[in-house]
Amino acid sequence: MMMIFEREKITTRIPLLSSHYTFLLIVSIQKVLIKRLVDLGIHISCHFALLQKAFSIIFHNNMLRHLLVIGGLVSLAQCQDSRNLTFTLTAKGLPAKDDISKIDPLVRIYQTTDGSDLQKFGASETILDTEDPEWIEVFWFLWKKGTNQKWKFEIRDADILDKDDALGGAEINVDDYVAAGENMTLDLSPQGTLSIQKTTPIRFKLKAQSLPKKDKPPQIFAAFTSDQGESDPYVKCYYRRGIGGEDKKFATTSTIDNVVDADWEDVIEFGNYQKGTGMYLRFKVKDADSTSKDDDVGYALMEVDPYVTANVPKTLKVQNDDGEDNGATLTVTPIPTS
């Protein structure tokens, strides 16, 4: 039997809110919904005016206003149970193929939800000649609590001439991983371990001042050119664990031509940041040259934990390879991640 509800009966059962409190609720819900879109990776800046207009119409429509409040409360509850996870992977003790050659491991990640078919959502690059790979790729995954999401990891030995050999595998329920604090080590079959490590991505911009003039023309030509020898700088960004650790490159800025003071527009994301693991960022400033090898301008080193805690711009002295200051500075300015 079809049931028909009259509008008057529906509206009288919903408690009416004053315009003031309804407005506050709508504003709060608007912020939550916009943040939700951003968390899902949806770029909304070009649609912001349209969203504002829609909320304005809703505010002046009593029925829509109350439906929005109800829907918004549901959305709030859902937001508590889903969010982006970011992590990196490290393996140890992988089985060697033989005593002659070392393995070149890579990892592939698959996911399933509520028993659905496996879907690949990530893969690493190949690391050569190691049984203990630390992959630098940062993996992003939208976790939805209680939906029986699972990850399956396959580690293989890359082979150019033949099919990649299986080195090990493991599976995990994502809810269990989150409950364990987003840091977990799994036993691989047949041997070895795989560590899943939570990361907290940070973003920043770079600005250099008083860079050395690497392109200064010879004195004999100085009177015949307006070129005063400014550099064409760019920066390679590396991270390391411990002050003397191995550098791993994660980003390179664009090149700015003919300057001694460079202010890069690039927003650089360091997705591998893990608090309390002794991480440093090393910035290598280079001078681009179209006719010869790029010149080294200098480098700067920064400990990450104090920088993140302070959350203010950090100015570093640029040093030559011999450790002496060359008069230039590099400023690292934090950019909000959302």
Residue 90 lies in a domain: yes
Q: Which of 80, 98, 123 is the last residue of a domain?
A: 80
Same domain, 226 and 322: yes
Query: Looking at 164, 198, 232, which one is the last position of a domain?
Result: 198
By the 8 A CB rule, do 156 and 106 touch?
A: yes
**What type of residue sits at position 253?**
T
Judged against a pLDDT cut of 70, whether residue 42 lies above it is answered with no
Are 171 and 251 part of one and the same domain? no
* Same-domain status, 207 and 188: no
Give the separation between CA 152 and CA 173, rounded to whole angstroms.
9
149: CATH: 2.60.40.150
Domain that holds residue 310: 202-335
Number of domains in the chain: 3
**Average pLDDT value over all residues in the chain:** 82
pLDDT reading at 77 higher than 80: no
Of residues 108, 88, 190, 181, the one with CA closest to residue 151: 108
Among candidate residues 198, 230, 245, the one where a domain is terminated: 198
CA dist 180 and 113 (Å) reads 20
Say if residue 193 is in the same domain as residue 210: no
| Listed range (20-29, 82-91, 138-147, 210-219) with the worst mean pLDDT | 20-29
Q: Is residue 6 part of a domain?
A: no
* Inside any domain, residue 299: yes
315 CA to centre of own chain: 23
Strand ordering across the sheet containing 119-123: 119-123, 105-113, 149-157, 165-173
Q: How far apart are CA 21 and CA 66, in angstroms?
A: 12
**7 is a domain residue:** no
The reply to whether 123 falls in a domain is yes
**Same domain, yes or no, for 156 and 191?**
yes
pLDDT greater at residue 334 or residue 66: 334
In a domain, 1, yes or no: no
- Crossing angle (nearest 10°) for helices 62-80 and 19-39: 40
- pLDDT, residue 174, reads 97
d(CA 257, CA 251): 19
pLDDT of residue 163: 84
CA distance 153 to 139: 13
**What confidence score (pLDDT) does residue 101 get?**
76
Q: Are 267 and 231 in contact (CB under 8 A)?
A: no
Q: Is residue 131 domain-shared with residue 57, that is, in the same domain?
A: no
Q: Which residues contact 226 (CB under 8 A, 6 or more apart)?
A: none
The Cα–Cα gap between 206 and 263 comes to: 6
Q: Are residues 187 and 100 in the same domain?
A: yes
Residue 4 counted as domain residue: no
Of the two residues 120 and 1, the one the predictor is more confident about is 120
Share of the chain above pLDDT 90, in %: 62
How many Cβ atoms sit within 10 Å of the Cβ of residue 64? 14
